[in-house]
Structure 1
Amino acid sequence: MFYRNSAMVLLHQFCYYMPSGRSGQDEKINREIIELLERALSMDRKLPFPKKEYLEVCSLDGHIPVDLEGVTFLPEDVMIGCRKHLVYRKIGNMSFGLPGNFLYDESYNGSMDHYYDGEDYGGHDYYVYAAVFEGRKAEFKNQWFEQGKGPEIMDFDIGKAVARAAFYEPEERDGEILYGMSAQVLYKEQRMNINIISRKQGEKDWALGLIKNIKITE
């Protein structure tokens, strides 16, 4: 039960459900889950077992599953894997939602936090940072919306916050076409600054949806 439950924690909270070949982090988590589940299975084949998730992670890792004949399985409708949905991270008094399979780029040296899914696995980049203006209300910074050509700018509300987003014309860079958007969200003294880059056409609504999912968390 200990080994099964340890694997369940990884499956529910930490597994990105992405191929092991994407990153060392994916490989480590996928293989640890497989090892824990197979150890539990070797000790008790009657313990309810997450068959669907086990087979999925085996496929992601290129691992040949062990024989599951006679094993007791968890019900198919049991929901496992919070990273199959949006995952929220907090900065100041706002939380922003990211696809759960996005990795945090620990090697990025810029002033913003960088999250990504990998060029071969979606091709998205999400950059974010927040500024706080003590003693005065945050305002839009116009230069933020001048990062590309022909910006299409829109203003809208997100609950108690106000937001502005700019969508730029496609830009060729390093042999690939990039679709960029910039956004700022203001609430009281805080301004959240976001850049989103896509490598596929037609993802404007997807990027805008991420901005509109920002939540006030005071």
Structure 2
Amino acid sequence: MKQQQDFARDISEIRSMMERSTKFLSLSGWAGIMAGVYALAGAWIAYKVFNFNPDEVVYTSFSRGEYLAGLMKVALLAVAVLVLSIGTAFYFSNRKAQKRNETMWNSTSRRLLINMSVPLVIGGLFSLVLLSKGLIGLIAPVTLIFYGLSLYIASRYTFEDIKILGLIQVALGLANSYFIEYGLVFWALGFGVAHIIYGIYIHVKYDR
């Protein structure tokens, strides 16, 4: 019996070592929670402070210059949310890696970032094309869809649970492409609420 227990423990340790070498497991639930908080705060600021109303902008082209200043503020706000989210993710992931006596930047994390960046870069460039053509209403669903695809791909290199979050983002993006006038609501649901729920789940399952 003891030999069987030792054998099972050895198999479990080997499996754990192989998983650590092939998957990035330093993602922190707190990073997801804070990213969601930033997104919700950004959506609130865009609506309340900058008076950004997607229902008014959906069919607006650049021939109506009164929207340009507002759109620029919203774009800068989105960039600020992105920078804060990335910085927070780096901080919490690095802290978790140190607790596990691991290095955050390794071959696995590089593969993760490279594979995630492909749909993200394509989605970003596509959003710029939509912006240049005045198709403002499609930017929110496009960012949700391509971000969801990047998470789905990332699940191969980190927690499998991220695949579900990716599919949720894609579903929200597709729904938003039909209900274009509710872009800010879908954006807040995807980048805000979904991130917070995912972050809490990851924290409870993996961080504690």
What's the TM-score bracket when you normalise by the shorter of the two chains? under 0.3
Structure that is richer in strand per residue: 1
Q: TM-score, normalised by structure 2?
A: 0.25
The structure with the larger Rg is: 1
* More RCO (CA 8 Å, sep 6+): 2
Structure that is richer in helix per residue: 2
